[in-house]
Structure formats: structure tokens, C-alpha cells
Amino acid sequence: MATEAQLNWRYNPPEAELPDLKRASDIMMAFWLRGNFDPKNLKYYLVFNIQNKKTVALISRMLKNHDLSEVPYWPGVVANMYDEEGPALLGE
């Protein structure tokens, strides 16, 4: 969040100036509570942060093969099991 604030506000804001909703889980819960007032019904919360250099290289290659410079918003890029990309991303 601090990086985005710095890019958009053009200065490095102190922690106190950043919004209280800082983490993906905070934002996810806020959206969930917006229309679902019983948080016990939330079944799944997924976050992906890829650290493996080989996987990052595979994703970069897949984006390049699809003429993309960055990962698009949902639904992103589909890699099925019949393309070379699908089994590679699953680690087969």
C-alpha cells in the first residue's frame, strides 16, 4: 500500500496517513461484509504470492506468448492442460 500511495501521491507518506484498510484480507472482508452480514458464511479466502523464480519465469513466458506485458485482471490468462503452459505451471 505504501508503494502505491507513493506512486499516486508523489511523496512517501508516513504510516499514519495510510488508510486503515492496508492488507488484502482487510479489503476482502470489507467487500464481503458489504452484502453479507454474517462473516461465518465466508468459505474461502485466497491470496497468491509467487516467490519461486522458475515459476515467475514460466508466468513471464506465458504472458509473452499471449502478447501481454502484465497479468490482466480477472479472469487473467487461462492455461489449460492441453497447452504446454498448463502442465508446466502445475509442475508436471
Instruction: Classify residue 46: in a domain, yes or no.
Output: no
Same domain flag for 33 and 11: yes
Instruction: Classify residue 61: in a domain, yes or no.
Output: yes
Structural domain boundaries enclosing 29: 2-41
Same domain flag for 57 and 34: no
Burial of 10 (0-12, 13-18, 19+ CB in 10 A): exposed
**pLDDT digits (tens), the chain, 92 positions:** 677 788 888 888 888 888 887 777 787 778 777 877 676 777 776 666 667 788 888 888 888 888 998 888 877 888 788 888 888 777 75
pLDDT at 72: 84
pLDDT at 50: 62
pLDDT at 47: 66
Same domain flag for 66 and 36: no
pLDDT at 67: 92
Instruction: Classify residue 48: in a domain, yes or no.
Output: no
Instruction: Classify residue 31: in a domain, yes or no.
Output: yes
Domains identified in the chain, total number: 2
CA torsion sign for 14, 16, 20, 24 is positive
